[in-house]
Structure 1
Amino acid sequence: MAVKTTCPYCGVGCGVIATRDAAGEVSVEGDRQHPANFGRLCSKGSALAETIGLDGRLLEPLVDGQPATWDAALDRVADGFARVIREHGPDAVAFYVSGQLLTEDYYVINKLAKGFVGTANIDTNSRLCMASSVAGHKRAFGSDTVPGCYEDLEQADLLVLVGSNAAWCHPILHQRMLAAKEKNPACKIVVIDPRRTATCEGADLHLPLRSGSDAVLFNGLFAFLAGSKAVDREFVGNSTTGVVEALKQVAGQTVAQTAATCGLSEGAVGLFFDWFARTERVVTLYSQGINQSSSGVDKVNAIVNCHLLTGRIGRPGMGPFSLTGQPNAMGGREVGGLANQLAAHMELENPAHRELVRRFWRAPVMAEKGGLKAVDMFDAIADGRIKAVWIISTNPVVSLPDADRVRAALDKCELVVVSDCVRDTDTTRHADVLLPALAWGEKDGTVTNSERRISRQRRFLEVPGEARADWRIICDVATRMGYSGFAYGSVAEVFREHAELSGFENNGARDFDISALSTLDDGAYAALAPVQWPVTSEHPAGTARMFETPKFFTPDRKARFIPIAPRAPRHATSRDYPLVLNSGRVRDQWHTMTRTGKTARLLSHVFEPYAEFHPEDARLAGLTNDGLARLTSPWGEMIARVVVSSDQRRGCVFVPMHWNAEFAGEGRVNALVNPATDPLSGQPESKHTPVKANPYAPKWHAFILSRNPIRRPETGYWVQGKAGDCWRLELAGETRPESWRDWARAQLGLEDVEIEWIAYRDPGAGRFRYAAVRDGRLDGCVFIAPDHTLPSRAWLTGLFAEPQLSANARMSLLAGRPFGAGEDTGPVVCSCFGVGRHQITAEIARGADSVEAIGRRLKAGTNCGGCRPEISKLVGTRAQMRQAAAS
Structure 2
Amino acid sequence: MERSSILNKTTCPYCGVGCGIEIATDEQGKTTVRGDTDHPANFGKLCSKGSTLAHTLVEEGRLLHPKINGLRASWDQATQFIGRQFQQILDQHGPGSVAFYVSGQLLTEDYYVANKLMKGFLGSANIDTNSRLCMSSAVAAHKRAFGEDAVPGCYEDLELADLMILTGSNTAWCHPILFQRIKAAKEQRPKMKVVVIDPRKTASCEIADLHLPIKPGMDVKLFNGLLHYLAEHHKLDTTYIADHSDGIHDTLTYARQDAADLDQVATACDLPVQDIATFYHWFAQHDRTVTCFSQGINQSSQGTDKGNAIINCHIATGRIGKPGATPFSLTGQPNAMGGREVGGLSNQLAAHMEFNASDLKRVKHFWKAPNMATHAGLKAVDLFDAIERGGVKAIWIMGTNPVVSLPDADQVKRALQKAQLVVVSDCIEHTDTSAFAQVLLPAAGWGEKDGTVTNSERRISRQRGVLTSAGEARQDWRILTDVARAMGYSSQFPYQTAGDVFREHAALTGLANNGKRQLDISELETLSDAEYDSLQPIQWPVMDDMGSDRLYGNGRFSTQNKRAQLVPVRSKPTAHLLTQQWPLALNTGRVRDQWHTMTRTALAPPLTAHKAEPYVELHPDTARIYGIQPHSFVKVSSQWGSVTLKADITDSIRPGDVFVPMHWNDQWSRNSRIGAVVNPAVDAISGQPESKHTPCLIEPWQPQWTGFLFSRKNRAVPESHYAAKVRGEFFYRYELAGTQPVHNWHDVLEQLNLSEDNLSLLYEDPHSKSYRCAWTDEAGIQACVFIGPADSSTIRDADRGWLSSLFAKAELSPLERKALLSGKSPAGVEDCGRTVCACFGVGEKTIRKAIKENNLTNAAEVGQLLKAGTNCGSCVAEIKGFL
Is TM-score (shorter-chain normalized) higher than 0.5?
yes
State the partner residue of 1:438: 444
Query: Is 1:585 matched up with 2:585?
Result: no
The answer to whether the 8 Å contact 2:407/2:689 transfers is yes
| Length-normalised TM-score, structure 1 | 0.96
Query: How many angstroms does 1:147 deviate by?
Result: 0.3
Provide the rounded CA distance (Å) in 2 between the counterparts of 1:222 and 1:870.
35
Of 89, 96, 101, which aligns to 1:96? 101
Between 774-783 and 241-250, the greater mean CA deviation after superposition: 774-783
Output one character per residue of 1:102-150: Cα deviation in whole Å (capped at 9) or x when no partner. 0011011111111111111110000000000000000000110100000
The one-letter amino acid paired with 1:777 is: G
Provide the rounded CA distance (Å) in 2 between the counterparts of 1:746 and 1:343.
53
State the partner residue of 2:206: 201
State the partner residue of 1:515: 522
Provide the rounded CA distance (Å) in 1 between the counterparts of 2:868 and 2:845.
13
Provide the rounded CA distance (Å) in 2 between the counterparts of 1:187 and 1:115.
50
Query: Is 1:866 matched up with 2:874?
Result: yes
Provide the rounded CA distance (Å) in 2 between the counterparts of 1:408 and 1:727.
31
Query: How many angstroms does 1:681 deviate by?
Result: 0.1
| Length-normalised TM-score, structure 2 | 0.97
State the partner residue of 1:883: none
The answer to whether the 8 Å contact 1:581/1:655 transfers is yes
Of 788, 805, 815, which aligns to 1:785? 788
Of 54, 61, 75, which aligns to 1:56? 61
Provide the rounded CA distance (Å) in 1 between the counterparts of 2:488 and 2:158.
50
Provide the rounded CA distance (Å) in 2 between the counterparts of 1:157 and 1:320.
14
The answer to whether the 8 Å contact 2:749/2:756 transfers is no
Q: Secondary structure at the match of 1:499?
A: helix
Query: Is 1:370 matched up with 2:376?
Result: yes
The answer to whether the 8 Å contact 2:720/2:736 transfers is no
Query: Is 1:572 matched up with 2:572?
Result: no
Provide the rounded CA distance (Å) in 2 between the counterparts of 1:489 and 1:804.
53
State the partner residue of 2:293: 286
Output one character per residue of 1:386-419: Cα deviation in whole Å (capped at 9) or x when no partner. 0111111111111111111101101100111111
Provide the rounded CA distance (Å) in 2 between the counterparts of 1:269 and 1:764.
60
Provide the rounded CA distance (Å) in 2 between the counterparts of 1:748 and 1:220.
60
The answer to whether the 8 Å contact 1:157/1:281 transfers is yes
State the partner residue of 1:743: 748
State the partner residue of 1:354: 360
Change (3 A) 1:182 1:742: same
The answer to whether the 8 Å contact 2:718/2:752 transfers is no
When the two structures are aligned, how many residues end up with a matched partner?
870
The answer to whether the 8 Å contact 1:358/1:366 transfers is yes
The answer to whether the 8 Å contact 1:827/1:836 transfers is yes
Query: Is 1:502 matched up with 2:509?
Result: yes
State the partner residue of 1:884: none
Output one character per residue of 1:817-844: Cα deviation in whole Å (capped at 9) or x when no partner. 3332521111110011110111111111
Provide the rounded CA distance (Å) in 2 between the counterparts of 1:624 and 1:724.
32
State the partner residue of 1:25: 30
Change (3 A) 1:610 1:73: same
Change (3 A) 1:289 1:513: same
The answer to whether the 8 Å contact 1:745/1:751 transfers is no
Query: Is 1:560 matched up with 2:554?
Result: no
Of 691, 694, 701, which aligns to 2:696? 691
Query: Is 1:474 matched up with 2:480?
Result: yes
Change (3 A) 1:417 1:742: closer
The one-letter amino acid paired with 2:629 is: T
Provide the rounded CA distance (Å) in 1 between the counterparts of 2:495 and 2:746.
62
Q: Secondary structure at the match of 1:16?
A: strand
The residue correspondences of 1:179-194 to structure 2 (distance < 5 A) are 179-194=184-199
Q: Secondary structure at the match of 2:710?
A: strand
Query: How many angstroms does 1:323 deviate by?
Result: 0.6
Between 47-56 and 821-830, the greater mean CA deviation after superposition: 821-830
Of 492, 499, 502, which aligns to 1:492? 499
The answer to whether the 8 Å contact 1:281/1:312 transfers is yes
Q: Secondary structure at the match of 2:670?
A: coil
Query: Is 1:393 matched up with 2:399?
Result: yes
Q: Secondary structure at the match of 1:347?
A: coil
State the partner residue of 1:879: none
State the partner residue of 1:824: 831
The answer to whether the 8 Å contact 1:294/1:685 transfers is yes
State the partner residue of 1:297: 304
Provide the rounded CA distance (Å) in 1 between the counterparts of 2:469 and 2:844.
41
The residue correspondences of 1:693-732 to structure 2 (distance < 5 A) are 693-732=698-737
Of 670, 680, 683, which aligns to 1:678? 683
Provide the rounded CA distance (Å) in 2 between the counterparts of 1:112 and 1:711.
37
Between 805-814 and 264-273, the greater mean CA deviation after superposition: 805-814
State the partner residue of 1:602: 607
Provide the rounded CA distance (Å) in 2 between the counterparts of 1:209 and 1:46.
33
The answer to whether the 8 Å contact 1:770/1:782 transfers is yes
Unaligned runs of 5+ in 1: 876-887
The one-letter amino acid paired with 1:51 is: T
The answer to whether the 8 Å contact 1:446/1:455 transfers is yes
Query: How many angstroms does 1:772 deviate by?
Result: 3.6
The one-letter amino acid paired with 2:802 is: W
Query: How many angstroms does 1:83 deviate by?
Result: 0.8
Q: Secondary structure at the match of 1:251?
A: helix
Query: Is 1:406 matched up with 2:409?
Result: no
The answer to whether the 8 Å contact 1:229/1:277 transfers is no
Provide the rounded CA distance (Å) in 1 between the counterparts of 2:49 and 2:349.
33
The one-letter amino acid paired with 1:184 is: R
The answer to whether the 8 Å contact 1:703/1:784 transfers is yes
Percent identity over the alignment?
52
The one-letter amino acid paired with 1:300 is: G
Provide the rounded CA distance (Å) in 2 between the counterparts of 1:263 and 1:516.
51
State the partner residue of 1:850: 858
Provide the rounded CA distance (Å) in 2 between the counterparts of 1:372 and 1:857.
55
State the partner residue of 1:121: 126
The answer to whether the 8 Å contact 2:670/2:717 transfers is no
Of 155, 163, 173, which aligns to 1:158? 163
The residue correspondences of 1:447-486 to structure 2 (distance < 5 A) are 447-483=453-489, 484-486=491-493
Output one character per residue of 1:231-257: Cα deviation in whole Å (capped at 9) or x when no partner. 111111100110111001122612221
Unaligned runs of 5+ in 2: 1-5
The answer to whether the 8 Å contact 2:705/2:742 transfers is no
State the partner residue of 1:525: 532
Query: How many angstroms does 1:360 deviate by?
Result: 1.3
The answer to whether the 8 Å contact 1:698/1:733 transfers is yes
Provide the rounded CA distance (Å) in 2 between the counterparts of 1:648 and 1:762.
42
Query: How many angstroms does 1:763 deviate by?
Result: 4.3
Q: Secondary structure at the match of 1:344?
A: helix
Query: How many angstroms does 1:725 deviate by?
Result: 2.3
Query: How many angstroms does 1:361 deviate by?
Result: 1.3
The answer to whether the 8 Å contact 1:758/1:772 transfers is no
Q: Secondary structure at the match of 1:27?
A: strand
The residue correspondences of 1:617-656 to structure 2 (distance < 5 A) are 617-656=622-661
Output one character per residue of 1:489-513: Cα deviation in whole Å (capped at 9) or x when no partner. 2111110010011011111011100
Provide the rounded CA distance (Å) in 2 between the counterparts of 1:500 and 1:200.
44
Provide the rounded CA distance (Å) in 2 between the counterparts of 1:813 and 1:289.
46
Query: How many angstroms does 1:736 deviate by?
Result: 2.5
Query: How many angstroms does 1:601 deviate by?
Result: 1.2
Of 414, 423, 427, which aligns to 1:421? 427
Query: Is 1:320 matched up with 2:323?
Result: no
The one-letter amino acid paired with 2:740 is: T
Query: How many angstroms does 1:218 deviate by?
Result: 0.6
Output one character per residue of 1:506-545: Cα deviation in whole Å (capped at 9) or x when no partner. 11011100011111010000000000000123xx220000
Query: How many angstroms does 1:811 deviate by?
Result: 5.3
